[in-house]
Chains A and B, each alone.
Chain A
C-alpha cells in the first residue's frame, strides 16, 4: 500500500525538506522503541514508509508529501469473517467511540486501526506516543476480535 488516502495536491518544495527531517525523526523514534528502522523501510510511491511487528500486530507508518505532509500510522488487524458481520460492525463502531486519537475502519475485507495527523508541529514525544498507542491497541484488539468473531489475523495462516 502506498499511503492511505491519496490527496490530489502536488508536493510542495518547502514540505519536502520538512518531510526528510520528519523521516529521520520517525526513524529515531522507531529505534527508541526497539525497531530496526532500516529493516522496517518499505518502498512507497511517494514519501516514506516503514512496517514492523508489535506483539501480534503489524504496524505500517507512512509519511506522505501530499498537501502539507501527513504522518499516517495504521495497523491491519484482521480479515472479516464470513458471518455475523453486523455484530462485528456494531462492536467496531462502539470501540471507535472509546478510542482516543485513532479510528477503526474497514477497507475491502480488512479491519484497520488508523491514525493520521499533520506533520507540521509533530515532535518526537508526540510521534512516539502515537506509535506506542496504535501498536498497543492493535496488539490488544486483534486477538480479542478474532477470538470473538472469527476471521483470520492479518498476514497469518
Chain B
C-alpha cells in the first residue's frame, strides 16, 4: 500500500518524501530505513528533519529505532501526573501510551507550547504540547518518559448511568461521584458526571476511573448546563486522537504546533508567518520574517488557488453559501441559465 503511494504519479515532492518517511517506519531494519530516508531526501533535499533522522540513524549502530534523548524510564505509569505552565495552572493529566504521551485538557495548557509535567517520585520533566483538539477539549503532550506498563482502561460506552467513578487530582485528592449520563450519537465522546467544579481543586485533566480503578476518561471543566455536572471525555476518544497524532507525526515529521488553534502547522517551514489552519501568527514568525518565503509551497499550503475564479473579482479563494469569500458578491449563474436557455 505504501509502496503504491510513493509510486503515485500525482504526488508532489513533499508528499512523496513524507510517504518514504512513513515507509521507513514500517520496518525495523536499519538499512531499509536508511534507504527510505535517502529516497525521501532525494525528493526534498532541503528537509532538515529527514536529514537529521538520517544522520542519527547512520551514527547509531546499536539501535535501528530513533530514540528520544535521555528518556525517563518508568516501570508503571503513575495514575495521575501534574501539569504546570498553562494559564490556569495547576492541572492534572495522565499517560495515554508507553511512549510517554500525556493527556490533559486544552483548558489546562491554553496556548502554551511547553509545560512542566510532575511525575511524583520520578521528579519533573518538560513536556512539549503537540496537539490540542478544541472540539474534545483535549491537549496531548510529548514527554521524555518511557512507560513500561499502563493501567487498564474501561471504554466509556461500557459505562452506565449511576456507575461509581473517582477523579484523581495530582495534589492527591480522590473525588467520588457517579455517571449521570452517557453521551450517544454525535455526543458519544462525552460522559456527564455528578462532580461539580466546586469539588475539584485544580484546572482539570483529572483521570476518571471506575470502581475497579480502570481508566474511563478525563474530567474537564466544561459544565452540563442542565445538571451542573462536569463533563468527562471518554478514554476511547482520547486514544483515537492520540493515535491520529502519531500517524500525523509519521506523515509530517517536519510539522510544528500552532498554540492558538492547536493544529499541526508547516507554514513556518516555507517562510510563512501565519498558521495555515487559523491564520494566527506563528511563534517562529519573527525569526523567519526576513527570509524569503517559498511562495509556491505556501500558496499550496494556504489553498489559495485551488478554486474556480470568482466571476466578479477573479479571486480563487473559494465560495461559501453562494458568495465569494473575498468580495462577498453572490455567485450568480451565467445569464443564459437565468433566462432559461440552459444548454442541454
Contact = CB atoms under 8 A, between A and B. Distances in A.
A133 interface: no
Given A80-B278, A109-B262, A157 B187 contact: yes
15 contacts: A81-B135, A82-B134, A86-B318, A89-B279, A94-B328, A108-B280, A109-B134, A109-B262, A109-B278, A151-B134, A156-B223, A157-B187, A157-B190, A157-B192, A157-B233
A53 B328 CA distance: 34
Nearest to B319: A87
A108 B260 contact: yes
A150 B134 CA distance: 11
Contacts of B272: none
B111 interface: yes
A106 B183 CA distance: 29
Contacts of B221: 155
Given A80-B134, A108-B280, A157-B187, 14 more contacts: A82-B134, A86-B325, A87-B321, A90-B320, A90-B325, A90-B328, A151-B134, A155-B223, A156-B223, A156-B225, A157-B137, A157-B183, A157-B220, A157-B231
Given A109-B134, A157-B231, A82 B263 contact: yes
A155 B278 contact: no
A152 interface: yes
Contacts of A15: none
Given A53-B225, A157-B183, A151 B135 contact: yes
A56 interface: yes
A-side binding surface: helix, strand, loop or mixed? Answer: loop
Interface in A44-86: 53, 56, 79-82, 84-86
A109 B225 contact: no
A94 B327 CA distance: 12
**Size class of A's contact patch?**
20 to 34
Given A85-B277, A87-B325, A79 B222 contact: no
Interface string B189-215: 010100000000000000000000000
Interface in B281-333: 317-318, 320-321, 325, 328
A59 to B, nearest CB: 14
Contacts of B320: 84, 86-87, 90
Contacts of A80: 134, 261, 278
A87 B324 CA distance: 9
Given A82-B263, A109-B260, A109-B278, A157 B224 contact: yes
A4 to B, nearest CB: 14
Contact of B110 (A108, A150, A151, A157): A108
Contacts of A81: 135
A86 B321 CA distance: 12
Interface string B121-153: 000000000001011010000000000000000
Nearest to B107: A155
Contacts of B321: 87
A87 B317 CA distance: 10
A130 to B, nearest CB: 24
B116 to A, nearest CB: 20
A86 B317 contact: yes
